[in-house]
């Protein structure tokens, strides 16, 4: 009897732990298809820089990494690797600045439960364009929807302008 109770307690703890990893915040629904990831990402990033990032934490898996590719002062390629918590802390230093990110154009490749999104984006801070560039986003299907496993970002620069094919068509 004691052994059964002990086993049941262990099993309940394992199942609860696994549910906690996969269950996002109830107010932040996961996209049901990869096509919903750009809008979910934009919504999670946009708003006051110091806002609660519960939806960003729900959208990205806990082990997710964000890599920012750039050119160093010497012109050599370099990168910065951050956890989601690192990114949140960095963005929070902008205080009450209003951020607005919009995926301009995206392409999705999907196989079964994995997807890759290639998107161009524009980021505005207090209404002024702060950056434009490319996001390379990896995602996985989990119970309840799609979650992001990694994001690689390269901002546009004088030496790497966004090619026209990554910009929305002008009307």
Here the CATH number for the domain that contains residue 40 is: 3.10.450.50
Indicate yes or no: pTM above 0.85. Answer: no
| Residues spanned by the domain of 24 | 2-166
pLDDT, tens digit (0-9, with 9 covering 90-100), for 96-146: 999 999 999 999 999 999 999 999 999 999 999 999 999 999 999 999 999
In a domain, 51, yes or no: yes
Tens digits of per-residue pLDDT, 6-59? 333 333 333 333 333 334 455 789 999 999 999 999 999 999 999 999 999 999
- What is the C-alpha to C-alpha distance for residues 113 and 55, in angstroms, rounded to an integer? 21
Whether 171 maps to a domain, the answer reads no
Residues 6+ apart with CB under 8 A from 64: 83, 84, 148, 149, 150, 151
Looking at the structure of the chain, the number of domains it has is 1
In a domain, 97, yes or no: yes
- The answer to the question of residue 45 being in a domain is yes
């Amino acid at each position: 009897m004691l052994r059964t109770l002990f086993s049941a307690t262990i099993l309940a703890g394992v199942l609860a732990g696994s549910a906690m990893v996969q269950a996002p915040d109830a107010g932040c629904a996961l996209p049901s298809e990869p096509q919903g990831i750009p809008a979910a990402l934009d919504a999670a990033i946009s708003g006051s820089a110091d806002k609660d990032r519960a939806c960003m934490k729900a959208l990205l898996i806990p082990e997710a990494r964000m890599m920012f590719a750039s050119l160093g002062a010497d012109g050599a390629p370099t990168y910065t690797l951050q956890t989601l918590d690192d990114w949140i802390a960095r963005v929070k230093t902008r205080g009450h600045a209003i951020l607005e990110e919009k995926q301009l154009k995206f392409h999705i490749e999907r196989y079964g439960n994995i997807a890759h999104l290639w998107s161009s984006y524009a980021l505005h801070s207090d209404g002024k364009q702060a950056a434009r560039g490319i996001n390379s986003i990896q995602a996985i299907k989990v119970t309840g929807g799609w979650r992001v496993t990694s994001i690689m970002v390269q901002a546009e620069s004088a030496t790497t302008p966004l090619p026209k094919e990554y910009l929305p068509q002008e009307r």
